[in-house]
Amino acid sequence: MTDPRAVDAAPENGLSDGADESRSGGSRLYPRVTSFRSRRGALTEPQQASWDRMWPGIGREVADEPLDATSWFGRSAPVVLEIGSGTGTAALAMAAAEPHVNLVAVEVYRPGIAQTVQGIEREGLSNLRILRGDAADVLENMVAPGSLAGVRVFFPDPWPKARHHKRRLLKADTFALVADRLEPGGILHVATDHADYAEWIEEVGDAEPALTRLPFDSERRTVEGSSLSVDRPVTKFEGKAQQVGRPTSEFVWGRPSTGATDVAAATITRRESENPLR
């Protein structure tokens, strides 16, 4: 299954369509076996113009510099990370619905990011920023432990073939890393329309000791005890999946408000030594 909202790679700004970043050495877009497919794409003139106007203020490339959300947004507010924001459908809608939240969208596919940039400019959103790069790199090297109010992963690439399962984003290591980065009371919100991947996600997520499954009301779009919204928009891609009888599975886990810090830290340390992400 090809998900147009999956995290994809594209040339850096300034490289020709034929340039191969993976051969240039040291690229932050290709640091390891990734969870995204590599796609190329050029920006339209309006997209490039919007990018030139907006990117210096709202966008950054992944780097080793710790994320200082308060400085970047110009205010102190709960920080939510959306992994694999695609063209920004969910990020734009949820940012508009949650003006009290600082939302950071992580994506690598430049034309998809450009659509998000255009949406930010069009809607005049001041609470949405974009990081371009590998989400695991962001979580490992830019996000401090206990600093996120929420993490959102909507329709990640399922990599359905067994030999490709190692590329799946939502593995035990990732759950442990997310749990460590969540603040007490923070939540992880995941959605997928791939049945096999849903079973995988449910099993691995429930096995993470630093996270607790929270009751999710799919009709009312609420999670008891969470101040963050779980009311995401239904995109065209998801709508088509529903029309052919492919339902969406949705999960929410929370980091308990007390007693989770030591468990999360110990778990991530053990798993990094046994099976490091890098």
C-alpha span between 41 and 31 (Å, rounded):
20
Q: What is the C-alpha to C-alpha distance for residues 3 and 155, in angstroms, rounded to an integer?
A: 7
Cα(273)–Cα(205) distance, rounded to whole angstroms? 20
217 is in an annotated binding site: no
Distance separating alpha carbons of residues 211 and 235, to the nearest angstrom: 28
pLDDT, tens digit (0-9, with 9 covering 90-100), for 42-87: 899 999 999 999 999 999 999 999 999 999 999 999 999 999 999 9
Contacts of 77 (CB under 8 A, 6+ apart): 69, 100, 101, 102, 127
Annotated binding residue 166: no
Locate the domains of the chain by residue range.
21-274
From the candidates 3, 8, 137, 157, which is the catalytic residue? Answer: 157
* Residue 70, marked binder: no
For the whole model, what pTM was predicted?
0.79
Cα–Cα distance, 172 to 212 (Å, whole number) = 14
Question: Could you tell me which CATH class the domain 21-274 is placed in?
Answer: alpha beta
Largest CA distance in the chain: 52
CB-based contact 228:188 (threshold 8 Å): no
Does 237 carry a binding-site annotation?
yes
Q: What is the pLDDT of residues 82-117, one digit of tens each?
A: 999 999 999 999 999 999 999 999 999 999 999 999
Q: Is 217 a catalytic residue?
A: no
